[in-house]
Amino acid sequence: MELMEISEFFSSQLPDAQKRKQILFAVIPSLIFVIFIVYKIYHIESQVEDFKRIITEKFPPEKCEKNWKFFQGNCYWVNKKRTNWTTSEKSCVQENAHLVSIHTDEENDFVELILGEGQIDGWIGLQLLDDEWAWSDESDTMYTNWKAGEPNENHGIENHAEMWNPGGQWNNNKETRKIRSICKKKAS
């Protein structure tokens, strides 16, 4: 092959300026488009993650059994069957729970809420043992929410506590009173 033919061969293989421009115009927008898509996918993914986090915070996954309500790490159940305090506590124990112990205003408000306004009072886990008020789940008794003038007859016949409804404050009453009750146990 002569020198002239070789030169023509290579110049036919190489893109001329026009071709290079066409390639450039085709490649650059495609690259920008790909970068844009990658950015969008990343952006959408991070938005989805944010959305998932917000939903999880607002609506934590169900940690309680059916009919039990979740609140701050515990599950609560209103036993609508009207029984005396001892039978109410036994019903809770059958559910691996105890009658509710209450430790903050927020928890008291929650228990009052699930008890349902206008419904009859409910037994809570407080009982008089050796002249001391004690929770049946043996938790501390630092918090109290007695109604004014209560507990009355401490050393008499009102040795168990109920939640007044409405109002949510506590009253000591006779163990034999048959009312609803609230059970509480740790969430799983």
Minimum CB separation of residue 122 from Ca ion in Å reads 15
Residue pointed to by tokens 């938790």 = 139
Residue closer to Ca ion, measured from CB, 91 or 171: 171
Residue closer to Ca ion, measured from CB, 46 or 154: 154
Mask for 135-174, x = binds Ca ion (CB under 5 A): ---------------x-x-----x------------xx--
Q: Does 30 bind Ca ion (CB under 5 A)?
A: no
- The DSSP line for 35-47 is HHHHHHHHHHHHH
Distance between CA atoms of residues 105 and 111, nearest Å: 10
Minimum CB separation of residue 150 from Ca ion in Å reads 5
Most distant CA pair in the chain: distance in Å? Answer: 126
Q: Judge contact between 88 and 182, C-beta under 8 A.
A: no
Q: Does 83 bind Ca ion (CB under 5 A)?
A: no
Residue closer to Ca ion, measured from CB, 83 or 173: 173
- The DSSP line for 125-185 is EEEEETTEEEETT--------BPTT-S-STTTT--EEEE-TTT--EEEE-TT--EEEEEEE
Residue 179: strand pairing partners:
83
Minimum CB separation of residue 121 from Ca ion in Å reads 11
Residue closer to Ca ion, measured from CB, 145 or 171: 171
Q: Does 89 bind Ca ion (CB under 5 A)?
A: no
Residue closer to Ca ion, measured from CB, 75 or 126: 126
Contacts with Ca ion, residue ranges (CB under 5 A): 150, 152, 158, 171-172
